[in-house]
């Protein structure tokens, strides 16, 4: 059920446990492992912020994630290493909508089951709060757009602009009624 005015805000930073991945609230002490995971230029080659693999630009991303109070570190359970990150954003109880975004995974986990597991865990939690989850994906980021299609997200018409990344985005959505990961 969506959050009602006057009630305490929902928990946008729970710990979520999957078979192979632990999604835990991001902490300042995660900086070194998180930057190590993100420092591969190929992760960001299709992203609107292509230099996010550099320390000063990634520091902005990390600090923004910490300030959001809704960001996560993805931890590979077998190795206990951080393998990526994501966050909830723009919780809107009136529209019954929230965004999952700012997501990245190390290349070792591309094309496998990790993205599906992470999205399922985050969507499961999001749908306890809202009826619709959206994903903003860079217009040129065909890899992430395909990943959205693989999990059943539907592309909305048009483009959206997000000044913080300086580029046009396509917006995908999944509704609670259509969710089946």
Q: Does domain 16-131 have CATH number 3.40.630.30?
A: yes
**Taking 80 as the threshold, does the pLDDT of residue 163 lie above it?**
no
Kindly state the tokens that stand for 27: 């902490």
Return the pLDDT at 23.
98
Place of tokens 């930057």: 35
Helix, strand or coil, per DSSP, at residue 2: coil
Average pLDDT, the chain: 92
Contact predicate 21/77, CB 8 Å: yes
Q: 0.85 exceeded by the pTM?
A: yes
Return the pLDDT at 1.
45
**Taking 90 as the threshold, does the pLDDT of residue 159 lie above it?**
no
Average pLDDT over residues 33-60: 95
What's the pLDDT band for 85 if we cut at 50, 70, 90? Answer: very high
Adjacent-strand bridge partners of 101: 87
């Amino acid at each position: 059920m969506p959050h009602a005015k006057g009630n305490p805000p929902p928990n946008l930073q729970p710990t979520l446990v999957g078979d192979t991945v632990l999604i835990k609230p991001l902490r300042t002490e995660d900086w070194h492992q998180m930057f190590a995971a993100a420092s591969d230029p190929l992760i960001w080659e299709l992203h609107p912020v292509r230099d996010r693999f550099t320390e000063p630009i990634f520091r902005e991303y990390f600090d923004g994630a910490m300030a959001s109070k809704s960001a996560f570190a993805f931890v590979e359970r077998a190795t206990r290493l951080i393998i990526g990150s994501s966050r909830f954003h723009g919780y809107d109880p009136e529209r019954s909508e929230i965004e999952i975004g700012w997501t990245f995974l190390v290349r070792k986990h591309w094309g496998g089951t990790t993205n599906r597991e992470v999205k399922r865990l985050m969507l499961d939690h999001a749908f306890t709060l809202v009826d619709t989850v959206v994903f903003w994906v860079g217009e040129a980021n065909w890899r992430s757009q395909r990943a959205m299609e693989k999990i059943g997200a539907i592309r909305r018409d048009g483009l959206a602009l997000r000044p913080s990344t300086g580029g046009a985005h396509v917006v995908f959505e999944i509704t609670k009624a259509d969710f089946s990961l």
